[in-house]
Amino acid sequence: MDRRESDSEVAEAAGAGAAPALLGLAVALGAAGLLARAGAGPEVHGALVLAAALVARSLGPAGAAAALALVAAAAPALAAAGLAPGLVLSRHLTAVLPAWAFAAGALALLEMRRVETARLRAELRERAEADGLTGVGSRRELLRRGEMLMALARRSGRPLSLLALDVDGLADLNGRHGSELGDEVLRLVATRLRDALRTTDAVGRVDGGRFAVVMPDTALAGARAAAERARIAVAEEALFAPGGGERIRFTVSAGVVELGSADAAAEALLGRADRALAAAKQAGRDRVEVA
């Protein structure tokens, strides 16, 4: 047998062994991702990645390169599933793979870090845009959208209104029945407020029990009607106090204003609506005032 035939036989044997080994690597990586998604600790999926790396080592140079390519392809899924990128994987891979393969492994780790960073940034952006308790927009997001809608209203010459709404006596409710009931009240008010509005209206929780809504293409009368619908809907609701028994009723007050030439920014428009809201509180609560 000449040397070329011997080399050919070795390559065929290596190829025959590489296929099941690559399959084993894919299974190990898949299991690591699934366990990470299910909440398994880093020691569990770290062991699986180590097993995958040991399989890769047994494949020889060509098989190890294919294994690393598989790791790189699996990197986004593993990162999305919650596998801590770089820490477990880099330690085990660099221990068992030859030095010439480290560059490919490093690329896989960089991709995992990129995907993980993008995911974390998306989560932070979502948290900044939404109120975690009620699901409506945050104050920051409300003012951002308010500025955009105000600029559009000025360019188009269309009306725009803003209503500010506050739960009457929320601090007293929290004091007598606990913050859990207060939180339930806020969630219910947010739901009834959205029910009274259009999908184009921007709703946000400003602070505490106070909400605000920017309503494009809406004059003062239309915004007042929407505030009245929300006020009546909330007044018809009741929640049971903790422990059952007593039914707790609550109300809201609202202030409504329309965009004017003197309103330089969304903060200024919100300030005018807050003053109308304060007038509604002073007039006896459970009512809507315009300014």
Q: What is the secondary structure of 221-252 as a DSSP string? A: HHHHHHHHHHHHHHHT--EEPTTSSPEE---E
Across-strand partners of 290?
256
Q: What percent of the chain has pLDDT over 70?
A: 56
- Residue 239 predicted with pLDDT over 70: yes
- Residue 48 predicted with pLDDT over 90: no
Residue 92 CA to its chain's centroid (Å):
33
CATH, domain 139-290, list 3.40.50.1380, 2.40.50.840, 3.60.70.12, 3.30.70.270: 3.30.70.270
Domain boundary assignment for the chain: 3-129, 139-290
Winning range, highest mean pLDDT, from 17-26, 91-100, 127-136, 175-184 = 175-184
- Residue 189 predicted with pLDDT over 60: yes
Q: Which residue bears the tokens 């398994």?
A: 40
CA distance 99 to 82: 28
Higher pLDDT, 129 or 16: 129
Asked if 252 and 165 touch (Cβ cutoff 8 Å), the reply is yes
Asked if 249 and 238 touch (Cβ cutoff 8 Å), the reply is yes
pLDDT band at 215 (very low <50, low <70, confident <90, very high): very high
pTM, rounded to two decimals:
0.59
pLDDT band at 130 (very low <50, low <70, confident <90, very high): confident
Question: What is the pLDDT, as a whole number, of residue 96?
Answer: 45
Closest by alpha carbon to 160, among 212, 211, 229? Answer: 212
